[in-house]
Structure 1
């Protein structure tokens, strides 16, 4: 009994010390009267949040605590900052360090390096990001395609034992430098030329340092189940968590197969495998125009591609394969393919390949449209496209799966440039507005869990994703009645609305709906040990 009393007195003493340390000096920010959703998926509660020196110091009814800035959040939701686990920000960090499109959508942290493409020297990259200071926090995967290109180039062959070893060493170094895992883009050159054992070897190198295997799988259409099973088997054999990127089923012959694909994920989890997925809330995808061309045509790199295109017989073979694929997808022409960014002629932006083909004065036949595509590919190394290929019923079914995160698959947008996919601006707001408030596909608390604690847990961002004392003060304050995406395919450059305040590492980055210009983001390195 005496020992119990001593423990109780000790706890009271410790709490009094904590209270004194928290409130003996003014807080930096005090958010009062908010409807707090803490990221766990549990119900909201009313309370206050105290912030000091970049950390959450207290949550609850904090009374008349002194603070340098007091925010009255009455009638608003207070939640952890959103974590976007599938981003492609490389190359735009310096030109637009304020990352407005992410910040205005409530995103405070991104995981980049997805789909097999990343910086090769991640140690140097993280140092540059810490020096640059973007408005968002940045974590990164190491990309398989990047590593393969560094060792083998774009050759269409298996690696030699020495090349495999060198690739694994590059992955190992990236993990030691702070990568959160390995990503693959198995529809893209040169990753598409790899076989499972090659990828598994690299995955094992990442697994030794606590990494995640994040995969843009080999096929999201006819062979989607085989592609999912490959990703799961790599996780099983490597002994590591798996994240399947932008989970979907594409093209009309496959609509409805989300019943099968979601079941595959659940079966793996029932087996004891840590497999999760992410998704953007749109029925159109966005990637390179190159993906309309048979991958064998790119073997050896762009120079080899151009040589093949200058051979009449090979060019005709490529076009016939393109048309055969088009018919297999049950499209009459390329009117489902919209140009997002074409540098040689920006008047193409926002037009379909079908429309551009007409502008060229060619016949409205698939072979002629394939010729137009090859002309465009010859003119520039990358044309960004938007492909309308999915069904809303599949999208909703996948969204309802509980181990599914919200992710944009977007980069830092330069406002007014090109015709990007609207997911770059509106992903989280679209989920909160369309699928939570309007269609009630998800509870608000559940949607926020998918945007916060689930990705933080998956990618081991241990000090983020929850509202808890001692964790980093990444927060969003928004109006659940008005939050909405504004960006549309015809007018994509439009920031989300409804986010009143966004804090990154304790600094107000959005204040009363306006970006302050603050750049308080940090590079977030994997700290798992071997």
Structure 2
């Protein structure tokens, strides 16, 4: 057999959870065609990679990536590919750019500019099929996509607080069917964001009945807006109720403890395990950091979002309406803005304030934190984003990390970075999530490397139907990560986030080297999958 690439002498972690074995891997075209002892005579004309002393695993799958626009602007996507992420599943939280009419695309790319950055103008995003063409063979990693609640609701009812019933509901259901038929790997919603949060539980059930026709899961960011519209007030009870009523699969996004609940893993998992025992099909994801990241729109109640960015800016630029908006922030159960840090400040704002704590900038300007935030939103025309400052209590921080690794020991968990690769001071998870988990945290808490790898590879591939990916075996796509098991490490930190990891010398996507000797190659080998 003729090989294009042969990887020699590495310890192969096949992705199934079994212990590593020493073996060669032969690749022909895009697929693995041999695993075992490959004679030298069989590889004379092949590109040979010496993996002696290194481990080889399936490429990591990021099940929660906000790189929708970043991949369109720079398909190389070094922040993810250099970690070994060979497949990015975009459109989590229902925040995405397809399927959208040209008019809605321009409006929603503006609305989402604080979390996604500015996607290119004028793209055809009228369907999932059209969206996939914008990524296929134009990115280093593979790209899969959820069908997003936001665009589907926009197309059905606009940026308006209305109930989806009758023709509007039927249009949304038909768009969802079309999205699944064109390759969407699930339905995603985020119920801190709009227009998603104008829904009620009945709407989610109606849409998930469609997902059930295709055997697709719902990936959900739990509700903390408009709880009066939700079963059980929202949160975990609502998500489980949707899955229970419709008999569909459920996937919890970024489900873990926080600093104020560190050590309470059993309490966290109690409702999940109870529902699973009753037959609800549930999986979950996490990332290994004590705090998250988002964009300021999440702080404000539903009325503020109606009509989209132009109407929102009219409120922000009117002193009386802005004061009313700040007063009405208490209507939702989202966290307070204090303790956040600017990660991204777009055109019109002062980029020197990226990295500033909200509280400090408010003091500098002589205004409240809320007033400062609304002024920044107005200055940047909404193109600004933030993250929570890490806790000062390092012991509690480490306890959250210990909890994350305990959750990763469960067979129903996988990894979603929640990466937002935008701005001058992004959350470090964009550059370090996967290597932090398989590197320093695995070593610190002494988890088997094959177990951690399985959660990052086979679990997501099976849950989201990624054909012939997630394991190393003959006939599978050659998405591979070659890493130094003892020295792989994240170097991205909260104060210096845009730093690539060490210990990942080579990454292959569909049989092509996209990282070689810890440098990106510029090869755009990614497919729009599944």
**Bucket of the pairwise TM-score, normalised by the shorter protein:** 0.7 to 0.9
Count of aligned positions: 485
Q: Does 1:422 find its partner at 2:440?
A: no
Deviations 1:424-478 (A, max 9, x none): 11111100222111232x3211110011000001001130000111100111110
Given that 1:290 and 1:382 are in contact with CA atoms closer than 8 Å, whether structure 2 keeps it comes out as no
Task: Kindly indicate whether the alpha-carbon contact (under 8 Å) linking 1:203 and 1:213 is maintained by their aligned counterparts in 2.
Answer: yes
Gaps of 5+ in 2: 100-126
Residue 279 of structure 1 deviates from its aligned partner by 1.0
Residues 58, 481 of structure 2: 8 Å contact kept: yes
C-alpha separation in 2, matches of 1:337 and 1:135: 32
- How many angstroms does 1:325 deviate by? 7.7
1:5 aligned residue: none
Alignment-derived partner of residue 284 in structure 1: 291
CA contact 1:250–1:389 (8 Å) conserved in 2: no
Q: Secondary structure at the match of 1:445?
A: helix
Q: Could you tell me which residue of structure 2 aligns to residue 114 of structure 1?
A: 92
Residue from 50, 53, 64 that aligns with 1:86: 64
1:248 aligns with: 256
Cα distance per residue 1:211-254 (max 9 Å; x no partner): 2211111149x9999512222222232232211111135574x5
C-alpha offsets along residues 42-69 of structure 1, whole Å, 9 cap, x if unaligned? 1111111111111111112223342212
Tell me, yes or no, if structure 1 residue 451 matches structure 2 residue 456: yes
**Could you tell me whether the CA contact under 8 Å between 2:289 and 2:400 is conserved in 1?**
no
Q: Which moved more, 1:116-125 or 1:223-232?
A: 223-232
1:273 equivalent among 273, 280, 283: 280
Matched, 1:34 2:34: no
Give secondary structure in 1 for the equivalent of 2:490: coil
SS at match of 1:486: coil
Shift of 1:207: 2.1
Gaps of 5+ in 1: 1-22, 526-530
Q: Secondary structure at the match of 2:432?
A: helix
Please name the residue that 2:383 is paired with. Answer: 382
Q: Which moved more, 1:35-44 or 1:56-65?
A: 56-65
* 1:422–1:487 contact (8 Å) kept in structure 2: yes
Aligned equivalents of 2:510 and 2:317: distance in 1? 54
Cα pair 1:279 1:399 within 8 Å, conserved: no
Aligned positions of 1:319-358 closer than 5 A? 319-322=326-329, 334=338, 336-343=339-346, 344-358=349-363
Whether 1:124 aligns to 2:130 is: yes
Q: Radius of gyration: which is bigger?
A: 1
| Structure 2 residue matching 1:284: 3-state secondary structure | coil
Match of 1:165 in 2: 170
Q: Secondary structure at the match of 1:400?
A: helix
Which residue does the alignment assign to 1:439? 445
Matched, 1:370 2:339: no
Structure 1 position 47 matched with structure 2 position 55: no
Counterpart for residue 497 of structure 2: 492
Displacement after TM superposition at 1:382 (Å): 3.2
Instruction: Determine helix, strand or coil for the equivalent of 1:92.
Output: helix
Superposed CA offset, 1:166-209 (max 9, x none): 11111111111111111001110111111011111111112212
Q: How many angstroms apart in 1 are the aligned matches of 2:514 and 2:389? A: 34
Deviations 1:338-377 (A, max 9, x none): 00001122111111111211221x15xxxx1211112122
Q: Aligned equivalents of 2:151 and 2:323: distance in 1? A: 31
Task: Name the residue aligned to 2:468.
Answer: 463
Q: 1:143 aligns with which of 148, 158, 163?
A: 148
Distance 1:448 1:303, change over 3 A: same
TM-score using structure 1 length? 0.86
Q: State the match for 2:518 in structure 1.
A: 513
- Cα distance, 1:308 vs structure 2: 4.4
CA shift, 1:387, in A, is 1.4
Question: CA 1:307 to 1:125, structure 2 compared with 1: closer, same or farther past 3 Å?
Answer: closer
1:202-217 map, 5 Å: 202-217=207-222
Cα displacement (A) at 1:307:
4.7
State the secondary structure of the residue aligned to 1:58: strand
The alignment partner of 1:66 has SS state of helix
Q: Is the 8 A contact 1:265 1:276 kept in 2?
A: no
Kindly provide the CA deviation profile for residues 135-193 of structure 1, in whole angstroms up to 9, marking residues without a partner as x.
11011111001111122122123123111111111111111111111100111011111
Q: Do 2:8 and 2:51's aligned partners in 1 also have CA atoms closer than 8 Å?
A: yes
TM-score norm. by structure 2 comes to 0.86
**Residues in 2 aligned to 1:264 and 1:374: alpha-carbon distance in whole angstroms:** 37
Q: Deviations over 1:108-145 (max 9, x none)?
A: 01111111123211111112322x52111011111001
**Aligned 8 A contact 1:289 1:382 in 2:** no
